Amino acid sequence: GSAADVGSDKGSAAYVGSDKAVFDVPILGPLTGFGAGVLWKSYETYSQFSFRNQCLVASDWLRTKLFGRDISRV
C-alpha cells in the first residue's frame, strides 16, 4: 500500500456459520463465537439502506431461528 494506508487497518470480520463469527480488531484483538455472531448480524441489519430492508433482514433471521430453512426445493 501507499503511505496514506499506514495506520488505517480497521480489522477483519468473517461469519463462519452456526450463529458464530470471527473479528480481528486491531485495538481489541480477536473476538470469536456466539457474541461475535450477534455483533455480525446486528451490523448486517443496521447497514441496510432503508428501514424496510432492516426489518426484512431481521425478520428473516428470526423466522429462520424459529422454523429453520426450507431446503426441500433446492
DSSP states along 38-53: HHHHHHHHHTSSSHHH
pLDDT of residue 52: 97
Per-residue pLDDT tens listing for the chain (74 residues) = 555 556 677 778 888 888 899 988 888 889 899 988 888 888 889 999 999 999 999 999 999 889 888 777 66
Measuring CA to CA, which residue among 67, 68, 69, 13 is closest to residue 41?
Answer: 13
pTM, entire model? 0.67
pLDDT of residue 48: 94
pLDDT of residue 70: 75
